[in-house]
A and B are shown apart, each in its own frame.
Chain A
Amino acid sequence: MKWSSAGGTTRACSSMTSRLGRWAVSLPPTLFLLVFFVAPSLIMIVASFRFPGEYGGLAPLVEHGRWQYTLETYRFFFSDFIYAEIFIKSFAVALATTLICILMAYPLAWLIARSPKRHQDLMVLLAVLPFASNFLIRVYAWMIILGPQAALARATNSVLAVFGFEPVTLLFSPFAVLVGMVYVHLPFMILPLYTNLARHDPALLDAAQDLGANAWQRFWRVTWPLSLPGIFSGSVLVFIPVLGMFAIPDILGGTGDILIGNLIKEQFLGTRDWPFGATLSLMLTLAVLALAGLAAWFARRGVDRHA
């Protein structure tokens, strides 16, 4: 009996220190999330129910001894279909950017992962090298590349002329926005995909081939399913930033090419309707959370199906 009670005390003791340790380790990230995610979100939620100030900002929360809050911004948001349209368009652009990034990054990541070890680091460095120069400068560079006087536009239009089509403008178009989005976010797809592909055991492909798989079957049955986690993390890293991006549509897009990001920015810096800006960004956050939840649900369902 003595032995077991002694053992119990030690266990209780060690479990208490381990619990303390766990607290100590998880405190900094918890604090970080509280200060930089939960608090701003709460501020935004509250702001979305307030009145705009006369010269921008927010009207006082309490005036003449009464609470000043309204559902006006939400009524406004749901009353005009234009906002839903911009949301849908933004999601479509984000989806298209993500898909194009997957298509472009996959062969490149595969190539890097397949290269001799001593070349891999250099190739990864080259893939992220554009980050060394300023984001805006890189986007402005596309203005020159896509501009009407540039070789690309001229060549395109002379080819179109041969087939009897009207000339097109590349710049200030949805096409230019997409080009900019893909260009800026491509490395975020390459890196997780490369990390994933480099980890694949080459013996698996040998085994597949040995068991009768041709090149296509080796890709489709082995490489592709094993790379899904990499594609998933890359997609998250591309899709969500694209959804909130306003600089690229501002610089490369035309007047009709505004996305949610532009709309939100406009509320805070242009029309100075902070409550409506808060409502829009809240809607965006909700949509992203819903999407993440959906993705997690699908992922779990996939696991259940396999188990």
Chain B
Amino acid sequence: MPLLELRNLTRRFAGVVAVDDVSLSIESGEFVTLLGPSGCGKTTILRMIAGFELPDAGEILLDGKNIAEIPPEKRPLHTVFQSYALFPHMTVADNVASPLKMARHDKAAVKAKVHEALDSVHLAERAGAYPHQLSGGQKQRVALARSLVNRPRLLLLDEPLAALDAKLREDMQHELIDLQREVGITFIFVTHAQDEALALSHRIAVMNQGRIEQFDEPSKIYGFPQNRFVADFIGHTNMLEVDVAEATPAHLRLAASELGELVAPAREGAYPGQRGWFTVRPEQVYIGPAADSELKNQFSGKVRSFLYVGDVTTYKVELADGTPIEALLSNSAPGRARFFEVGDEVVVGWRHDAGMFLDD
């Protein structure tokens, strides 16, 4: 039995559908991320699980039992809020103790559990400090300790890393992964940052306009997006409008309007004459001064611009017909900062088994 199951969950705000018939099943111990642009309904789903919003239709099952009638304070799950929502008039220790005190645990037990929880987020020595004396990362960790101290069945995290700077965010990502593995509590994480979702999750639900577009492991989401939205939202990609010219069990032959013919991996259900999109990631695209006989799909073009970001350089190449293609080149060769200049004639191409045909 899954730990949490959403069945046909729907929520409307003033006639606008925020969450549209969403079904989702989460296993115990999983780290699941709801990922999508702002306004896609991910936070509304989180607030419905927490009990702050009631669904207009559908069910939320925890351990197989519908929790719709249970008020937020009685649900065996906690939320880590985006603003942390630490109680400013309480010390770190009192903040962490608050869920235990609400439940009237005895004093000695509270003290031991608070110490253990603060220890797990490496903040035991700040127990006597007030929230305003802490840094952003420390507040974050106190909020985590407070939510984990009484061992909820489920932890909901609402964009908890959004307020941190890039370096600290990466540290906290590592800590979150470790913490989740240590405590073994199921995490449901909400974010609009796709890199964060890929880095943290066991599974990602990519959301758009109140619906789940794809629910899968990070590598599947990135490598095998189910539709154009997912391919486009996760990472960078090249997107070409194509018609299917030939479909065999081994491969697809695609016609891109001006560009000519492409060979792509086979896809179930594709039929000749079908319109759709071909997507290929920049890191799958070869860029070189001359053609490579290994590659089936090759086109010549000119370097329009490039972005040098240290470890890699992204080239924007304009093909003969004007189609832009992005190619990624690693800068691992010693002494070489970049390989091509703007205006250089280059050949871009990719393997016949790279990229995907998407029908919508």
A: residues with CB less than 8 A from B are 201, 203-204, 206-214, 217, 221-222, 225-226, 306-307
Q: List 13 A-B contacts (CB under 8 A).
A: A204-B85, A206-B81, A206-B85, A207-B79, A207-B87, A210-B52, A210-B72, A210-B78, A211-B78, A211-B146, A212-B150, A226-B88, A306-B130
B128 within 8 A of A: yes
Is B50 within 8 A of A210, CB to CB?
Answer: yes
Is B72 within 8 A of A209, CB to CB?
Answer: yes
Is A203 within 8 A of B91, CB to CB?
Answer: no
Alpha-carbon distance between A291 and B245 when the two chains are bound, in angstroms? 91
**Mask of B239-281 contacts with A, CB within 8 angstroms, 1/0:** 0000000000000000000000000000000000000000000
Is B50 within 8 A of A212, CB to CB?
Answer: no
B: residues with CB less than 8 A from A are 50, 52, 71-74, 78-79, 81, 83, 85, 87-89, 91, 98-99, 101-103, 128, 130, 146-147, 150
List chain B residues, Cβ under 8 A from A212.
73-74, 99, 102-103, 150
Nearest B-chain residue to A218, judged by Cβ = B73
Alpha-carbon distance between A207 and B79 when the two chains are bound, in angstroms? 7
Is A208 within 8 A of B98, CB to CB?
Answer: yes
Nearest B-chain residue to A204, judged by Cβ = B85
Alpha-carbon distance between A64 and B87 when the two chains are bound, in angstroms? 71
Is A221 within 8 A of B98, CB to CB?
Answer: yes
Question: What distance in Å separates the Cβ of B52 from its nearest Cβ neighbour in chain A?
Answer: 6
List chain B residues, Cβ under 8 A from A209.
52, 71-73
Contact of B87 among A204, A206, A307 (CB under 8 A): A204
Name the prevailing secondary structure of the A interface residues: helix
Alpha-carbon distance between A221 and B81 when the two chains are bound, in angstroms? 19
List chain A residues, Cβ under 8 A from B150.
212
Q: Which 9 A-B pairs have the closest CB atoms?
A: A207-B85, A212-B102, A211-B99, A203-B85, A225-B89, A213-B102, A210-B79, A209-B72, A209-B73
Nearest A-chain residue to B94, judged by Cβ = A306
List chain A residues, Cβ under 8 A from B74.
212
Is A226 within 8 A of B72, CB to CB?
Answer: no
Alpha-carbon distance between A34 and B266 when the two chains are bound, in angstroms? 90
Is A211 within 8 A of B88, CB to CB?
Answer: no
Alpha-carbon distance between A214 and B130 when the two chains are bound, in angstroms? 24
List chain B residues, Cβ under 8 A from A213.
73, 98, 102
Q: A201-B83, A222-B87, A226-B88 are in contact. Are A211 and B147 (CB under 8 A)?
A: yes
Contact of B89 among A201, A211, A217, A226 (CB under 8 A): A226
